[in-house]
Structure 1
Amino acid sequence: MIAMQYSFTLPADYDMSIIDRRIRDKGPLLDGFPNLGFKAYLSARRGEFGSRDNLYAPFYLWQKPEGASDFLCSPGFEALTSAFGRPQVKTWIVWEAQFSPDIGAAAFATRNILQTEPHAPLADLRRAESAEAEADVAAGALASVSGFEPTTWTRVRFSLWREPREIGEHTQAYRVGHMSLAR
């Protein structure tokens, strides 16, 4: 599995109802996309839940790399890049992915990107990150994904929730506008 996210930082005075409308209109187009685990259509508003920026930042979980490749080569992604520019697409190799059958009810998301310390034992980190994902689900998360990226040695912790969560200083929180799921 591969986790993937790109983000567009929008001006402080940007009318975020444009993003809400885009999510409402375009969101269902990826429902059942081949090799998709889920796509969470995410947005954040400056000043809400500690966000410093207005963001449009979808997060994907791909069952197979071909799904990510097919999507990035698709007319839908081409239309997105025509509207907003070509983003930097972050990807992580998934260590753990936990799901609730109620994942479609997600309304909020949290994401942390953590730097991996030099010489940290990866097997120990993998076990710890997997335990974090399991703990999030035990605490009510509808999904929790952890993974790593070995070029920049970052790790991601991503969770979907029904309700807003108390967040830490380095956590980005989002609203979920739509969930596209595998069929």
Structure 2
Amino acid sequence: MISMQYSFVLPADYDMSVIDRRIAEKGSMTDGFPGLVFKAYLSARKGERGASDNRYAPFYLWDGPAGMNDFLSGPGFVALTQSFGWPSVATWSVWHAELAPGIERARFATSERLAIAPHTGLEQLRAAETALAQSCVSEAKALAAVAGYEPTTWTLVRFRLWEELPLELAKGAAVYRVGHVSR
């Protein structure tokens, strides 16, 4: 599996209802997209839950690179780039993805990007992140938990979908509203 996310930082006075309408009108276009496990249409509003700016930042989980490549070279991504610009697309090799039934009910998402220290034992880190993702869904009531890494910049990603935000969030976790989840 592979995950990806791109993000558009929008002006502080940007009318975020434009993003909400875009998600409502176009979100279902990726329902059933070949190779897509899920796409979470995410937005953040400046000043809300610690957000430093307005942002549109969808997160994708693919069963392999073919679906991702088809999407990035397809007309939907072309239309997106014509509306918002050419984004940098972060990708991670997925160590583990834990999905609960009903991820379409997600209303919030959290994302952590953490540096992996040089010479970290990746086998142990992978096992620990897998266990954390599993417990996050079974015990913390997340609807989805994805753990992955990117070995160019040695970055770990922890992505979660929630119906209700937990009372305690990891320090530095980005919090998003979920407008739609495609499967």
TM-score, with length taken from structure 1: 0.97
Quote the offset at 1:101 in angstroms.
1.1
| Alignment pair present for 1:35 and 2:35 | yes
Q: Distance in 2 between matches of 1:177 and 1:153?
A: 30
Quote the offset at 1:102 in angstroms.
1.2
Q: Distance in 1 between matches of 2:136 and 2:164?
A: 13
Quote the offset at 1:167 in angstroms.
2.4
Q: Distance in 2 between matches of 1:48 and 1:175?
A: 10
Deviation string 1:57-113 (CA, Å, 9 cap, x unpaired) is 000000110000000001010000001111000000000000011111111000000
Query: Are the aligned partners of 1:167 and 1:173 in contact in 2 as well (CA < 8 Å)?
Result: no
Structure 1 counterpart SS, 2:179:
strand
- Unpaired runs of 5+ in structure 1? none
1:177 maps to 179
Amino acid aligned to 1:172: A
Structure 1 counterpart SS, 2:37:
strand
Q: Distance in 2 between matches of 1:96 and 1:169?
A: 22
- Unpaired runs of 5+ in structure 2? none
TM-score, with length taken from structure 2: 0.97
1:5 maps to 5
Amino acid aligned to 2:18: I
Deviation string 1:134-173 (CA, Å, 9 cap, x unpaired) is 1210210000000000100001000000012332331000
After superposition, where does 1:1-183 map in structure 2 within 5 Å?
1-138=1-138, 139-165=140-166, 166-181=168-183
Amino acid aligned to 1:173: V
Deviation string 1:39-66 (CA, Å, 9 cap, x unpaired) is 0000000111111111100000001100
Q: Distance in 2 between matches of 1:15 and 1:167?
A: 27
Amino acid aligned to 1:164: L
